[in-house]
Amino acid sequence: MVGYTSWALLTKMDIPLIGVNGLRGEYHLELPQLRIGSLKLRYPIVQGGMAVRASTASLAGAVAKAGGVGLIGATAMALEELKQEIEQARSLAAGGIIGINIMYTATQFAEMVDVAIRAGIDVIFTGAGFSRDIFRWGKESGVPIVSIVASAKAARLAEKFGAAAVVAEGAEAGGHLGTDRSVKEIVPEIKATVKIPIIAAGGIVSGQDIADVIKLGASGVQMATRFVLSEECSVADQFKQMYLQAKAEDVVIIRSPVGLPGRGIRNDFVKSIEQNKVPKPSECAGCLKKCSKEYCIVKALINARDGLVNEGIVFAGQNVFKIKDILPVQEIFDRLLAEYAVAE
Ligand SMILES: Cc1cc2nc3c(=O)[nH]c(=O)nc-3n(C[C@H](O)[C@H](O)[C@H](O)COP(=O)(O)O)c2cc1C
């Protein structure tokens, strides 16, 4: 079938016939072939970029090796650190696709993009605002740019500027949010508006979830929360344990000084934000173009990432409570593909 990978072939190559996780049955669904510019993905699965230092080389490299796109969360990294992370991810990726995720609000946005392009990055995902410049830099260097959007209007703008694809991120997502609407509402609207490929994001944790958004018009998915619960993700074990213990009602909207709401797990730190009791930062590195300085979001994310979970913010997607195990990235892929193949 033109434009589609043969599922029969994938089954033989990559998935045990008696399925992963006890799944059995006839493999019948085919995955779409996702292209981002000239990049051809083996599987249309992107591991969402996660700042600060939640998605680093070890995770991005493993995802790329497994056949998806591995993204390093670049926001708030030092320039030299970013360069080293890209080199390390490349060495782990076995020829797979490595990208960065960078928020437009980062003060060093232009410098970071420059470092990534010089380091030979394959693709750049960018969100939290638009920069026309990045599309020009992408064109000049041949690096495809993917815009993270939450509405048909923003998707149309991204396509006009030259985006190779858009991530349609719904309110189920972890991290900062651009909408309070479900990914299942925004994907069909964006599909009706743009011709470039749509990568759906927010709350996708299983093969059935992937099938659901593909039916709505997506050509691929971006997943982050599922990949936090991988062996290769470099967040502290305490961070992963918060994920494993979270119940549905623990996942809440958090006020962030960036000016966008964020989704994460309610803990002592979040309670003090709700009660306006977080002390203002005593120092500021000026890492974001726009910040209310109500508290330091970068410090809060680093604290949590390093294991001080109650002194920081544990961003997580709405469906975190559905994930019950920490697995190697390759097993996450095997399971997603097996679940997808028998999805309704
Ligand atoms: C811990 C964490 C950190 C995140 N950091 C970023 C980020 O720096 N930039 C960004 O564009 N999205 C960020 N996100 C959003 C993810 O890239 C992804 O789009 C979203 O979480 C998808 O929803 P899911 O987690 O339910 O799969 C973050 C998400 C999490 C869970």
pLDDT tens string 69-121: 999 999 999 999 999 999 999 999 999 999 999 999 899 999 999 999 999 99
Residue nearest to atom 8 of ligand 1 (CA): 51
Kindly state if the Cβ of 204 falls inside 6 Å of ligand 1.
yes
On the 0-12 / 13-18 / 19+ scale of CB atoms within 10 A, 285 is exposed
Domain ranges of the chain: 7-234+323-341, 237-321
Over 60: is that where the pLDDT of 17 sits? Answer: no
DSSP 256: -
Whose tokens are 């600060």? That residue is: 52
Q: What is the reported pLDDT for 101?
A: 98
Query: Which pLDDT tens digit goes with each residue over 123-160?
Result: 999 998 878 899 999 999 999 999 999 999 999 999 99
Residue nearest to atom 4 of ligand 1 (CA): 50
Over 80: is that where the pLDDT of 9 sits? Answer: no
Query: Which pLDDT tens digit goes with each residue over 35-45?
Result: 999 999 999 99
Over 50: is that where the pLDDT of 22 sits? Answer: no
Which backbone phi and psi does 289 adopt, to 5 degrees? -65, -35
Q: State the Cα angle at 328 between 325 and 332, rounded to 5°.
A: 70
Q: What is the reported pLDDT for 28?
A: 55
Dist. CA 275–CA 150, nearest whole Å: 29
Share of the chain above pLDDT 90, in %: 87
Q: What is the reported pLDDT for 30?
A: 83
Q: Which amino acid is at 318?
A: Q
Contact 149, 181 (CB under 8 A): no
Half-sphere exposure of residue 267, counting CA atoms within 13 Å on the CB side? 23
Contact 59, 227 (CB under 8 A): yes
DSSP 273-341: HHTT-PPPPS-----BSS---SS-HHHHHHHHHTT-GGGS--B--TTGGG----B-HHHHHHHHHHHHH
Q: What is the reported pLDDT for 86?
A: 98
**CA 49 to centroid of ligand 1, rounded, Å:** 6
Q: Tell me what the pLDDT averaged over the chain comes to.
A: 92
Contact 161, 136 (CB under 8 A): no
Q: In this structure, what token pair is assigned to residue 78?
A: 């030092």
Class of the domain covering 7-234+323-341? alpha beta
Q: Which of these, 212, 310, 332, lies nearest to 264 by C-alpha position?
A: 310
Over 70: is that where the pLDDT of 23 sits? Answer: no
pLDDT band at 326 (very low <50, low <70, confident <90, very high): very high
**CA 8 to centroid of ligand 1, rounded, Å:** 32
Q: Which atom of ligand 1 is nearest to the CA of 71?
A: 17
> Stretch 240-269: mean pLDDT, rounded?
97
Residue nearest to atom 3 of ligand 1 (CA): 50
Neighbouring C-beta atoms of residue 12, cutoff 10 Å? 11
Over 80: is that where the pLDDT of 19 sits? Answer: no
**CA 174 to centroid of ligand 1, rounded, Å:** 5
Contact 341, 28 (CB under 8 A): yes
Kindly state if the Cβ of 103 falls inside 6 Å of ligand 1.
yes
How far is the first Cα of the chain from the last one, in angstroms, to the nearest whole number? 21
Q: What is the reported pLDDT for 14?
A: 37
Specify the pTM: 0.92
